[in-house]
A = this chain, B = another copy of it.
Amino acid sequence: MRNRTLAEEPLVAAVAVALILLLSGLLRPALAQEVLPSWNDTAAKSRIVEFVKATVTEGGDGYVAPYDRIAVFDNDGTLWSEQPIYFQFGFMIDRVKTLAPQHPDWKTKEPYKSILDGDPMGALKSGEKGIVDLAMTTHAGMTTDQFSKIVTDWFATAKHPKTGKPYDEMTFVPMRELLDYLRSNGFKTYIVSGGGVEFMRPMTEKMYGIPPEQVVGSTILTEYAIVGDVPVLRRLPKIDFVDDGKGKPAGINKFIGRRPIFVAGNSDGDYEMLRWVTAAKGPGFAMIVHHTDDAREVAYDRKSAIGKLDKALDEAERRNWLVVDMKADWKRVFAFDN
């Protein structure tokens, strides 16, 4: 380290003065922005803002050190729509159509037959075994790099059956604002979803500002192999971990290794995760996205194509979990709405 020259001294002083003034808040009003602009000024928004303000207020009862500000979000029905079907099921349907020429037997074999006959919901009748078979056929047998490209290509071309929009535009604007708001307050944001982790990871940075390593989800086994002197990871047709229900706290523990202080979900598949977060000794905030808006999305209340919302909704009040009424609490749902 050399000595500072005389010419540098005033610069150091200028920086110091500027930083002190910045920190003292004199410039802050000029930078102020409206918080959660797509949320109506209802109790829901207030409760969220109050919690976040408390976590960042040093010396207060609700203060949480930045290191511990972990927030987890379910994906399907919480960050983006899950209607009329889980979007990953839409991906499976399209994969079956793409792969069908190589599998002539699918014309007469369920669950493929229903899909090829234009009745995808009929495929659900083949039960868990049929769905797992369908998932493995469409998600395994290739390398991880190949699968990532298949997913990325699908998102680039596939359209939502009802809105005609690309699936990655089917995200809820208020929830994206919430992610941004939490991050701007020092939170590290994660997805914790029953969906396949490698179905989500290629898109989450673009969709939500969440990098792949902050996506927890269901996994299938992979196997390291050398192909022509190049190492690859092959996706095997075998489920490794199901990140749903009781699996969500286990997934959080496995992938993140500590307990979040903020959680958002929308179904009983998130119930255990909501319990897990709000059972901590310190501050913990849980919210449920309640689908009440038939004009802008779908009002399905306690039901959905596969999941349901009963237990979590029944216990929300006594556990102090915030129930967000999409119709009443959100100004906007999708970015393409006006």
Contact = CB atoms under 8 A, between A and B. Distances in A.
A247 B222 CA distance: 9
A254 interface: yes
A219 interface: yes
Contact of A33 (B1, B17, B230): B1
Contacts of A1: 29-30, 32-33
A139 interface: no
A41 interface: no
Nearest to A12: B27
- Copies of this chain: 2
Interface string A16-29: 01110110001101
Interface string A171-196: 00000000000000000100000000
Contacts of A18: 11, 14-15, 18-19
Contacts of A188: 213
B257 A198 contact: yes
A26 B14 contact: no
B224 A249 contact: yes
A279 B224 contact: no
A27 B1 CA distance: 12
Contacts of A22: 15
B30 A15 contact: no
Interface in A190-242: 197-198, 201, 205, 211-213, 215, 219, 221-224, 226, 230-231, 233, 240-241
Given A11-B27, A231-B275, A275-B231, A258 B213 contact: yes
A276 interface: yes
Contact of A222 (B21, B212, B253): B253
Contacts of A258: 201, 212-213
Interface of A: 1-2, 4, 8, 11-12, 14-15, 17-19, 21-22, 26-27, 29-30, 32-33, 67, 70, 144, 188, 197-198, 201, 205, 211-213, 215, 219, 221-224, 226, 230-231, 233, 240-241, 246-247, 249-250, 253-258, 272, 275-276, 279
* A-B complex: 3 closest residue pairs judged by Cβ atoms: A212-B257, A224-B246, A15-B18
